[in-house]
A and B are shown apart, each in its own frame.
Chain A
Amino acid sequence: MSKTVRNQLFEIKSYDPLTIILCLLLMLTGWLMIFASEYNPDTFSSIFNFEKSYGKQLLWIALGLLTMIFLQFIEGRIYQNIAFILLGISLFLLLAVLFTKPVNGATSWFDLGGFRFQPSEFAKTATALALASLLSLPDIKMQDLSGKTQALLVLGVPTLLVLLQNDTGSTLVYMSFFLVLYRAGFTSTFFLAGIFIFFLSIASLMFDQVWGILHIMLLLGNFIMLRFWKKDERYGLAFIVISLIIWYLYAASIQMLLIIQLVFALIFITLNLVKRNWQITVITTAVILIAFIYSLSVNYLVNNILKEHQQERIWVWLRPEKCDPLGSLYNLEQSKYAIGSGGYFGKGFLEGERTKLDYVPEQSTDFIFCTVGEEWGFFGSFIVIAMFVTLLLRILFLAERQRFSFAKFYAYGVASILLFHIFVNIGMTIGVLPVIGIPLPFISYGGSSMISFSIMVGILLKLDSERSSAYR
């Protein structure tokens, strides 16, 4: 017993202080923001008022930290062996939860006497572990079809079960694991195509058909061009991603981009005609044709397959000018106003009246970033985003310094999930992405998410702390 304790104390030095400090800071920030959004001088008694969400959040933070500490007593390497057992348990819980009573239309929660337990939160960690475990097997190669199939299976089953729960936000989180697969060597064409389909959908939905299709076809031409260029894949990818992002952010100066694309496309077509490269011509035509049909059908898909509130969110995101400012657009507008009204340094702690006066919905959970923006201004937004980016880069750094690929891929899994949560949550409050109800890690109010992120990071810290001991 005493030996173990000494061992632990000794190994404290091998923990990564930056990650720990960042997590603690984020938790503190989150608590302050929850306090600010709920604080009312007339009724305030004590921060330990467990009737209020700031009081409860203190409990969750404590519980989260305890969980993290507890995890340090479990040897990290056993996760690699029990990963699939954990996944199995998660899948069982995901299946079982489907038979509970729906809350707000989604069957995602077990109601355990006042405390709601959401299995999909924990299934994320289990999936990350299982995926890492699979990828670290020596005979699994992402270049092989069987490797790909097994990886997709590990991802696909939990995703499908979460989808059945009617919980769109959590389902989309599972998409982030594709970043892990990318790092493991999954075909990059697949990702390019994915990015492409994403922007193709946006373009088709955002613009009236003629314009949209024109852009899509030219962008596609460029994409194929760059694929066949093949000199250096990374530059091609960077070019496409950057041009798409510029294009999306500056939809107004679209003609400029169009001309550039047109020039590229013309050069490419001329080159191929001169070389009489028929194969490329055929593939190009086929891809353009498929994209053409897809872009025509995506409007139909959105209008007929998606549920009404989902459609609404998409239109609010891409076509705000067509939405009713007092109807569907109201929440997002209020959110933007709250953040925008912060200016450089914000209105000051506890002074954010827009968030406090309930103009912003869900101001302590999904829309907590509004309070950051309003009370601390651009300065605060910058700090919070910078903390998250630093945390993510640090985790990526930790990942690359691992000697075991299990730990490496698990770290990538954690980074991917965090990245998705952060980007989507902050993105939706400022209108970069549609409203998808997922929490901001360590900041949003809520027990399930706090504990699940604590577990995720706790295991990561443990694995990282053992990185050197492995060879001892």
Chain B
Amino acid sequence: MSNDLYQSRQKILQAVVILLGIILLFRCFQLQIWDKSYQQKQSFRQIITQYPSRGLIYDRNDSLLIYNIALYDLQVTHESVRRGNIDTLKFCRLLGISPEQFNVNMEKDWSDIKFSKRKPFDFMTKLNPDSFARFEEHLFEFPGFESIIRNVRGYPVNVGAHFLGYISEVTSKQIEKNKKLYKQGDYIGASGLELAYEKQLMGERGERHVLKDKWGKIQSRYKGGTLDKSAKSGYDLVTTIDLSLQRYAEILMQNKIGAVVAIEPSTGEILAMVSSPTFDPTILAIDKNRGAAFALLAADSTDPLFNRALMAQYPPGSIFKTVIAAIGMQEGAIKADESIPCPGGFIMGNLRVGCHGHGATSDVSSAIAYSCNNYFCQTYRNIVNLYGYDFPEKGMNKLIEHLRAFGLGRKIGVDLPGEMSGNIPSVAYFDKRYGKGLWRFSNSVSVGIGQGEMQITPLQMANITAIIANRGYYYIPHLAKEFRGDKSDVLKRFKEKQYTKVHPRHFESIIDGMEMVVLAGTAINAAIPGVSVCGKTGTVQNPHGIDHSTFIAFAPKENPKIAIAVYVENSGFGSTFAAPIASLIIEKYLRKEIESEMRKLLEKSMIESNLMNKWQKPIKKPANQQNN
């Protein structure tokens, strides 16, 4: 066969055979002799997850609000147990289960790929430390079983359920989204701060690589522990909440339905946030009874799971007059010393917004003090008609621009999930309702007194109050003061001043008016001897029942330390419940206690009064608000 041109290629092919053989031998040599990590006789490698402890949550004065409790999950590897020949009866006795239960827990549907006889699966979960301790001493007798510590939440004080939120087992959807972060059985923040700051609080899972013998006992660390990662606990969260104030506000609000939000105007820090009715956060802590407790809360007609402080959208009523006054003065729709006589209401043709008898409204201050409906309907008219009677869109847009700067009609950006934006009038809405160019200010005059299309949340009310107290700016209200040890800038946005479009000087007459409200106007029972409180009442007409009462206030007048909004559903005049509750909270915050005997009586009557029987479930109107 001399015509074979490719004789030389036989050598190459022989070389290939030898080379591939050498590769195989080399790898065998590596595995069997060189690399010691694969040679541990009778051992196999396993990764043990180290669960980090979740960040704790404190109030502003370092009182603990949430701590961690260890619960145990017991996992089992079916095959190891089968081989291990354990004393099942002793096992059951120690755990307090019946042998039948043991068998049920051991046998899974093996055709399901989720389960394998050689991989650990949950045998029992959420065992509490007391009952588990006894068992754990004997754990070594039961090869194939291993315990996993899980941190769940404990609550030293039963306050703030709404903003603290709760954690729950991660859903398969969430795992799908974030495969690296979560595994089946992990816990994740489900609401409130737990959800909002999940990333900071959760910490980082660690891993321990170990070698186990065939019975599942840990023999040694894999590769001397070089691959191990220790768990990093989550950052501890210091909140802006003042625990004693929060507790006090919750006591005042008991048996009433509504919300309280108190803010420190100079920082935007939320001192207290109450949504009533509230519930004990402990009942939603992870344990066996959680499901039933949750169902009970969800079924309650008063909706205790609903955080009214930032989700309930109420018509603001008269407290909104302060905002209209500020915008009116800024736009020149009204002057601070402008006198508008009140003929007992705002009357125009057959349009009539009634007013109540009050003293002369010779300027903005007295109009606020007496809460004159006519005065602010006129102001509203002047604002909408800024560019002429026939061009209300332009005036309306101006108004909307201002309102949004006041944090109305949009989410302010508080660090809690579920915040609602409320509702403010919009040109598009009126165009749709009345036809383009077919509407005038008179179609919406009740907006001027905080009724009609206006809807705002208690948080927004408190924020308006802070704006007035600050004379024109605010910080985004927030609950997170500091993450201990965190160097990221998640909280940076709360350090920036947010300006409104109203000049500081226009607020002085409003503040004077608010002071008069408390001294001689509609909220005399909110006065605190020795403290200059500025406030504004609101009584919100409720076509479905008793009016809602609302009150915003800040104090002291010159150097405001606290701005507060109180909203009590179905409680009548603003002065009857909302104003006293607000003033008690203010005094408590400024003085740590209620001083005068008279006010102690007031405190007692507020705590004891029960409005639950007057409460009516609001009829849900079809949403006519725009969300933005």
A interface vs B, CB < 8 Å? 179, 182-185, 234, 237-238, 241, 245, 249, 325-326, 330, 333-334, 336-337, 339-344, 347, 353-354, 357-359, 373, 377-378, 381-382, 385-386, 388-389, 392-393, 396, 399-400, 403, 405, 412, 415, 419, 423, 426-427, 430-432
Q: In the docked arrangement, what's the CA distance between A354 and B118, Å?
A: 12
Instruction: Determine if A341 and B42 form an interchain contact, defined as CB atoms under 8 angstroms apart.
Output: yes
A373 x B32 contact (CB < 8 A):
yes
**A339 in contact with B31 (CB, 8 Å):** yes
The binding surface of chain A is classed by DSSP as: helix
> A182 and B27: CB pair below 8 A?
no
How far is it, in angstroms, between the C-alpha of A336 and the C-alpha of B31 when the chains are bound? 7
Interface residue from A185, A241, A396 paired with B6 (Cβ < 8 Å): A185
Q: In the complex, what distance in Å separates the CA atom of A336 from the CA atom of B10?
A: 34
Query: Chain B interface secondary structure, helix, strand, loop or mixed?
Result: helix
Judge whether B26 and A341 touch: CB under 8 Å: no
CB nearest neighbor in A for B119: A326
Q: Distance in Å from the Cβ of B234 to the closest Cβ of chain A?
A: 24
User: Given A184-B6, A358-B118, A381–B17 Cβ distance below 8 Å?
Assistant: no
In the bound complex, CA of A81 to CA of B316 (Å): 100
- B-side contacts of A381, CB under 8 Å: 25, 28, 32
Q: B43 — which chain A residues lie within 8 A by C-beta?
A: 337, 341
B44 closest partner in A (C-beta): A337
Contacts of A234 in B (CB 8 A): 8, 11-12
Residues of B within 8 A of A342 (CB): 32
Q: Which of B33-41, B297-305, B402-410, B550-558 contacts A (4 or more CB under 8 A)?
A: B33-41
Chain A residue contacts of B40, Cβ below 8 A: 337, 341
Closest chain A residue to B11, Cβ basis: A234
CA distance A183 to B8 in the complex (A): 9
Name the distance in Å between B172's Cβ and chain A's nearest Cβ. Answer: 16
Establish whether residues B21 and A385, one from each chain, have CB atoms under 8 Å apart when the complex forms. Answer: yes
Rounded to whole angstroms, the CA-CA distance of A274 and B15 in the bound complex is 37
Closest CB of chain B to A426's CB: distance in Å? 5
Asked if B1 CB lies within 8 Å of chain A CBs, one says: yes
Residue of A330, A340, A393 with most chain B CB atoms under a 10 A cut-off: A340
A302 to B226, CA, bound (A): 32
Contact among B8, B24, B32, B41 for A426, CB-based, below 8 A: B24
Name the one of B13, B23, B47, B214 contacting A245, with C-beta atoms under 8 angstroms.
B23
> Could you tell me which B residues sit within 8 Å of A by CB distance?
1, 5-6, 8-21, 23-29, 31-33, 35, 37-47, 79, 83, 118-119, 214
Q: How far is the CB of A471 from chain B (nearest CB, A)?
A: 13
Residues of chain B lying within 8 A (CB to CB) of residue A336: 31, 38
Task: List, in ascending order, chain A residues with CB within 8 A of B25's CB.
Answer: 381-382, 385
Find out whether the CB atom of B118 lies under 8 angstroms from the CB atom of A359: yes
Are B15 and A238 in contact (CB-based, < 8 A)?
yes
- A399: chain B residues at CB < 8 Å are 10
Most chain A CB atoms below 10 A, which of B26, B28, B40, B118: B28
Given that A185-B5, A340-B38, A373-B32 are contacting pairs, would A241 and B17 also be in contact in the complex, using a CB cutoff of 8 Å?
no
What's the A-B contact tally at a CB cutoff of 8 Å? 132
Question: Which residues of A are found within 8 Å of B83, using beta-carbon distances?
Answer: 357
Shortest A53–chain B CB gap in Å is: 20
Picked from A238, A330, A339, A400, the residue with its CB within 8 Å of the CB of B28 is A339
Inside 8 A of A415's CB, which chain B residues have their CB? 13, 17
The 10 A-B pairs at the shortest CB distance, nearest first, are namely A340-B38, A389-B21, A378-B32, A381-B28, A340-B31, A430-B27, A185-B6, A392-B17, A423-B20, A340-B39
Q: Are B32 and A344 in contact (CB under 8 A)?
A: yes
- Tell me the bound Cα distance from A333 to B40 in angstroms: 13
Count chain A CB atoms within 10 A of each CB in B12, B40, B43 and give the residue with the most: B12
In the complex, chain B residues whose CB is within 8 Å of the CB of A388: 21
CA distance A336 to B12 in the complex (A): 31
B19 touches A378 (CB 8 A): no
- Distance between Cα atoms of A341 and B211 in the complex (Å): 12
Closest chain B CB from A430 CB (angstroms): 4
Q: For the complex, what is the distance from the CA of A373 to the CA of B35, rounded to whole Å?
A: 15
- Chain B contacts for A245, CB-based, 8 A: 19, 23
Contact B18 A403 (CB under 8 A): no
Contact A396:B31 (CB < 8 A) given known A249-B26, A357-B83, A430-B24:
no
Known: A341-B38, A358-B79. A396 touches B33 (CB 8 A): no
Known: A388-B21, A415-B13, A419-B17. 19 other contacts (CB 8 A): A179-B13, A182-B9, A183-B9, A234-B8, A337-B45, A339-B38, A341-B41, A343-B41, A354-B44, A354-B214, A357-B79, A357-B214, A358-B79, A389-B17, A393-B17, A396-B13, A430-B24, A432-B23, A432-B27
Residues from chain B with a CB closer than 8 A to the CB of A419 are 16-17, 20
Give A214 Cβ to nearest chain B Cβ, in Å. 25
Query: Are A344 and B33 within 8 A (Cβ)?
Result: yes
Nearest to B209 among chain A residues (CB) is: A325
**What A residues does B46 contact at CB under 8 A?**
325-326
Bound-state Cα–Cα, A359 to B44, Å:
9
Q: What residue in chain B is nearest A381 (Cβ atoms)?
A: B28
Give the residue among A241, A385, A386 with the most B Cβ atoms within 10 A.
A385
Give the CA-CA distance A406 to B46 in the complex, in Å: 54
Closest beta carbon of chain B to A138's beta carbon, Å = 10
> Smallest CB–CB gap between A267 and chain B, Å?
26
In the complex formed, the residue of A with least CB distance to B20 is A423
List, in ascending order, chain A residues with CB within 8 A of B29's CB. 378
User: Among the listed B16, B28, B79, which residue makes an inter-chain contact with A430, where contact means beta carbons less than 8 Å apart?
Assistant: B28
The residues of B that contact A344 with a CB separation of less than 8 Å are: 32-33
Give B10's nearest chain A residue, CB to CB: A400
A421 to chain B, nearest CB (A): 12
Q: Which residues of chain B are within 8 angstroms of A385 by Cβ–Cβ distance?
A: 21, 24-25, 28
**Cβ contact within 8 Å between A430 and B31:** yes
Which of chain A's residues has its CB closest to B17's CB? A392
Interface centre among B5, B15, B45 (most CB of A within 10 A): B45
Contacting residues, chain B, for A359 (C-beta < 8 A): 44, 118
The closest CB in chain B to the CB of A412 belongs to B13
Residues of the A chain whose Cβ atoms lie less than 8 Å from the Cβ of B1: 403, 405
- CB contacts (< 8 Å) of A389 on chain B: these are 17-18, 21
B17 to chain A: which residues have CB within 8 Å?
Answer: 389, 392-393, 396, 415, 419
- Given the known interface contacts A183-B6, A341-B40, the answer about A423 and B31 at a Cβ–Cβ threshold of 8 Å is no
